[in-house]
Structure 1
Amino acid sequence: MLHKRKKLLPLVSFVMLVFLFSLFLFQDMAETYGSNGNKTGYEKLLNGKPIRYLIIGDSIGRSSGAETPQQTWFTMLEKKIKSTYGSSSKSDKIVQSGSTAFEGFFKFSISDISPNQDFVFIVFGENDRKYMSADQFMQQYEGLLRHVKKTFPRADIVTITESSLKNDQFAQVINVLSDHYHTTHIDMRPVFADSGQTEKQLTKDGIHPNSAGYQLYTDTIFRALEKNASANKQISKLPSPLDQDVDFSFKTVENPDVMDGFFKQGSYLQSEKKATSITYHFTGTMLGLQVLRSPDGGEITVFIDGKKTVELSTWWPFARERFIYVASSLSEGPHTVRFEVSGTRSGFNQSNQSVVRIAAIITKENP
């Protein structure tokens, strides 16, 4: 019996060694994108580890204008990272053509995104200038920044000033907030201006970059990440807000207080008859609208507390649920909003209809 035990000891030791080696190998192979403990994305790059990134943005965020999927700025960036550092990349995207920081903020707040993000790219400004003032943009953009920072405290936020943004006030907002939150800020306007190429050579339509333009985005972003990696950039903690009214959550209100001429159609309250309306009562300083934008989408006139505030179009080349900015900087306290069908339609609407479909209003959640 003792002789058998002596023979078994080397075998048991060998089996244990194989088990421990397999366990180590499995843990190494099981490492997922963005999940390498408390390491920053830059430390992962330097060690050739996989990274994960999120893009929250508009049409430039999704690379509209690129001739092929292989020439989007993020695909070219992934290839550049792989060839330089050996790191593979996985992405998540909250992007929508025509989107504003408000829509990005709201969609991010309701999205189920992997918590293992190493980098978050924020791409807004060009559309926002059409719907809000620079001060209102600052509130929405800072709210988004803070929500991202709280959700992904280990991620580096990359804020991008779009090459097409000609409104200096909006560009300055991005610059001020990027400095305050210690983001990696990339201003593509001087890059395009100093490239030696014309706007026609670098864009599809004067706004959206073409593949040559997105190559400039890729190269500029990569150089910034490379510089940060070499300097071992540390991720800063969340600072105090510049605007004291930005730490909030959203609330949707589906049931109107008064419905005049609208009827229920699926998930939406619908009408195309001029002067029909929906009225909601809400409390707070901000208001948005959840609608279905579609090829037959009509226009809405918005009245807040009896005063005509803005006109909105629900046209879009294909059916898509959207979250539209309506107003902010309202006084504290109760308000009444009425959405009235204008009976008109966008020049883009080539159908014979002008239908308005409303799902809910979006307001701040009261603390």
Structure 2
Amino acid sequence: MTSITKRKTFLILTSLVSAIAILLLSLKPDTAIMDDQTLYEKLNNGNTIYYLVVGDSIGRGAGAESRRDSWYAQLERLIKKRYGADMQGQHISQSGATAFEGLYKLKNTELIYPADIIFLVFGENDRKYMEPEEFAKHYELLVREAKVRAPKAEIITFIESPLAVQEFANQIQAVSSHYGATAIDMRKAYRQSGAEVKSLNRDQVHPNGKGYELYAKTILQTLDEFPNRKAPSTKEALYVQEDAPLHVTTSIETQQGFLYKEPYWTTGKKGSSIRYKVQGNTIGAIIKRNPNGGMVDVFIDRRYYRTINTNWPLVKERYIIIAAGIESGSHQIEFITNDHGHRFNGLDEKPFQLAGVISATINSKGTAE
């Protein structure tokens, strides 16, 4: 290669490197500005909005005639039409879920997107398993976990349309206000719509496509009026003494009639029993629900506490709440099957499948250890 050719090659490479450097430098400020934008600015600039839904059956859009009719799919179309912005979502929702299950799943799920909005959709199921004061503590821990996982995200909470217990709605509103989350009361939106509830619902709980249209339009109105602000930072806790870790206990004390098939202890025999020892005042379990699922009695410290139903139309691992607000300390938790299950012969799923017990000590603010 001649010296002239070498010099030309050097000049070309130098120019190319310079051009790339200039391009990268020119992009860097824009990237920094985009990362620093508020939700209000991202919407009005037409940037992609990333959202996370942590919720129950309404959170996942159950009752809609199709996915297209779910509240979040309708919201995506409304946002695109109003702001020219796309929305991309990640969903951590499960029919029948409580705030306890939402907290566990949020803690153990890798987030795909840097969320701009987190929607929390709970309350209707929680009222079946705990008192409002216990719900408030679980809900607060969920909000705090959401802020830890996505500190730049705005949090929008729902007071679901079927929630009839006002004390639960009050707690959602109180926790939301404390942390700067935006609470949307869909009961009020239903009333103000002037429509009959039966025209908005698939059943007594779940909205239909028309009901979810009302959800989507109410959220859009909220976003239209959203302040131009950075998401509020985490504040001192309102109800809980500290952020309680959730412990999973997989080692058993004793069992009768169970077989181990990793990671589950399984049985299809009535009267089978399995016992764990845990620490805490809040207790849940990791079970696999399925169409063969049966009824199981739960005993805490050898006293009957409640019966759980592991029957479900789909095969699904669940993280269920068993007890909240019991005395802190060491407890024996025993599960005893009280029927044989086996609704569907030929389905290779046992009536009761248990992977472990979840426990936590959740103290009220000001409570001594």
Per the TM superposition, whether the score is higher than 0.5 is yes
Equivalent-residue separation in structure 2 for 1:136 and 1:42 (angstroms):
34
Q: Secondary structure at the match of 1:77?
A: helix
Is 34-43 or 244-253 further displaced after alignment? 34-43
Q: Which moved more, 1:287-296 or 1:59-68?
A: 59-68
Superposed CA RMSD in Å reads 3.0
Give 1:222's aligned residue. Answer: 220
Change (3 A) 1:24 1:216: farther
**Partner AA of 2:243 in structure 1:** D
Match of 1:307 among 279, 303, 306: 303
Q: How does 1:24-103 map to 2 (within 5 A)?
A: 36-103=34-101
Amino acid at match of 2:141: G
Moved more, 282-291 or 44-53: 44-53
Contact 1:344/1:354, CA 8 A, preserved across alignment: no
Aligned twin of 2:24? 23
AA paired with 2:77?
A: K
Residue 238 of structure 1 corresponds to 234
Q: Is the 8 A contact 1:343 1:354 kept in 2?
A: no
Query: Cα distance, 1:43 vs. partner?
Result: 2.0
Match of 1:195 in 2: 193
Q: CA–CA distance in 2 between the matches of 1:318 and 1:12?
A: 60
Which of residues 112, 129, 133 in structure 2 aligns to 1:135?
133
Decide which of 164, 167, 173 is 2:165's aligned counterpart. Answer: 167
Among 350, 356, 360, which residue is 1:360 paired with? 356
**Corresponding residue number in structure 1 for 2:106:** 108
SS at match of 2:156: strand
Count of paired positions: 357
Unaligned runs of 5+ in 2: 363-368
What is the identity percentage for the equivalent residue pairs of Structure 1 and Structure 2? 35
The 1:110/1:13 distance shift into structure 2, 3 A limit, reads closer
Give 1:177's aligned residue: 175
Q: State the one-letter code of the partner of 1:59.
A: S
For 2:116, the equivalent position in structure 1 comes to 118
Contact conserved, 2:127 with 2:165, CA < 8 A, in 1?
A: yes
Deviations 1:46-84 (A, max 9, x none): 222222110000111111111122221111111221222
Which amino acid in the other structure matches residue 19 of structure 1?
A: I
Task: Tell me which stretches of 4 or more aligned residues in structure 1 moved more than 3 Å.
Answer: 7-29, 349-354
Paired with 1:65 and 1:176, the residues of 2 have a C-alpha distance of 29
Structure 2 partner of 1:285: 281
TM score, norm. by length of structure 2: 0.88
State the 1:8 CA deviation. 11
Relative distance call for 1:134 and 1:246 in structure 2 (3 A) is farther
Answer yes or no: is the 8 Å Cα contact 2:140–2:240 preserved in 1.
Answer: no
Does structure 1 residue 254 correspond to structure 2 residue 250? yes
* 1:271 alignment partner, one of 267, 270, 274: 267
1:37 Cα shift? 2.0
> In structure 1, how many angstroms separate the alpha carbons of the residues matched to 2:28 and 2:86?
18
Contact 2:179-2:235 within 8 A present in 1 as well: yes
Gaps of 5+ in 1: none
Q: Secondary structure at the match of 2:134?
A: helix
Quote how far apart the aligned CAs of 1:362 are. 0.6
**d(CA) in 2 for partners of 1:215 and 1:239?**
34
Aligned to 2:322: 326
Distance of 2:297 and 2:149 partners within structure 1? 36
Flag the 1:35–1:355 CA change in 2: closer, same or farther, 3 A. Answer: farther
Range with bigger deviation, 282-291 or 265-274: 265-274
Q: How is 1:330-345 mapped onto 2 (pairs within 5 angstroms)? A: 330-343=326-339
> Is 2:152–2:230's contact at 8 Å kept on the other side of the alignment?
no
